[in-house]
Structure 1
Amino acid sequence: MPSVDLNCDMGESFGAWTLGQDAEIMPLITSANVACGFHAGDPGVMRQTVQLALRHGVAIGAHPGLPDLVGFGRRNLDISPQEAFDMTVYQLGALAAVVRAEGGQLHHLKPHGALYNMAATNAKLAESIAEAIYKVQPELKLYGLAGSELTKAGEKIGLKTAHEVFADRTYQHDGTLTPRRQPDALITSADAAIAQVLRMVQGGWVRTQQGPEVAIRADTVCLHGDGAHALDFARQLRTALAQAAIEVRATPAVAPSAR
């Protein structure tokens, strides 16, 4: 039976502000990417999100982002590879401590927003993020855009990686995501998004904005939990995957190979 992981960005509330429907969506996913305080989240939200994930048996991942609360970590910042390393170590360490305090085990790391997209095409940034994981907790799995510099960097250093695809985003001819500020960056039709997921998981390809189809590896599918219809879409996608006999589960992380 084919299988795929469903991951979702979680714990993105901050102080008095609530974002997303974490409690409702958590039972529908298999991996949660928990914001670590730079682009969203705070210590209390991190703890509550970890507790929620543990309650539902969901794999827990660190979701480090750029230090940009106002821009929700989606604005590019001109950071150096060393800064990327330091930001990743800092945020990974914070969430790892919360998870340990709650009696859980950290499973993966997935960069957020602009940091994720920058590392997908910038080998130096990608290598710094992979190096940070390797030095802090090398048994973690690195989630990155399928076929990107991020997954290449993880595999090069000896990390286990998960090639990620997106249900509600359109793709460019080189396999990158269409930037959010461009027209048609988001897929707003649930039927179209589900059809894209099934093509990627079952067929290993995705249709690009330019027309041609490109090969793609789909280990894990990202669901955006902050959308207005996120909960309904998550339910519809789970139903569609079940009907297609695709098992939904988090893949295990493994010990790293020697460098």
Structure 2
Amino acid sequence: MSTMDSTMQVATTGQDATTGQDNTLWWRGGVIYQIYPRSFMDSRGDGIGDLNGITEKLDYVASLNVDGIWLSPFFTSPMLDFGYDISDYRDVDPMFGTLADFKALLEKAHSLGLKVMIDQVISHTSDQHAWFQESRQNRTNPKADWFVWADPKPDGTPPNNWLSIFGGPAWTFDSRRQQYYMHNFLTSQPDINFHNPEARQAQLDNMRFWLELGVDGFRLDTVNFYFHDAELRDNPPVPKGEAKTLGAPDSNPYTWQRHVYDLSRPENLDF
């Protein structure tokens, strides 16, 4: 992930059922072992790491005296961005196994005293997500405002000068709505409109699903990308002689802007 990709780790609160001690801040100063499921351990012989493979190796991970594991995305996805383009937030992609496999992993980890953190990528979805498939149909459907849509300028060009970290404009035109939708990353990763309270709550509900399943905390991906400037103002250029913006190669025009309106907005802090 790029250096513009600010992240946050969030732990749940409560007491340890065994010791009665408050484990609210278990992650502070703890050792967290990151696992990228696709390359960690293949239990099926198909050349792709999976959840059961992780479960098989948890005894080894626990022997390292770590406090918990952090799993990179394993959710249903077209995998155009290695799982960071999610089409179903509440299920496991078949290449990694099933929801039952994840529950078994969780049970095994907890039996070894390991906490389990998972990625949450809520700033954007895959364009294959049911929400976006509905949103792009027209301007009047129930999820019409769940993503960042905007009219073209009078000459048909994008609404403003915002750019994608992955190159090109941060806007793609959709012929059905005759509007542009915003994407900070791939064109297939439309941004959720966090100014819409229903969309915000839907993402919080998705997170609650995993908490109720028993996960101990989250690593929040692209946490500073949730909100955009509601007025869609142009980003200013980097003044001549000043350092370019970090987060993309120097060859990418993304670094030529000061990203004051498309990310790291004040509303992020309240959320």
For the superposition of Structure 1 and Structure 2, which TM-score range results when normalised by the shorter chain? 0.3 to 0.5
Bigger RCO (CA 8 Å, 6+ sep): 1
Q: Structure 2 length as normaliser, TM-score? A: 0.35
**More helix, by proportion:** 1
**Which structure has the larger Rg?**
2
Q: Structure 1 length as normaliser, TM-score? A: 0.36
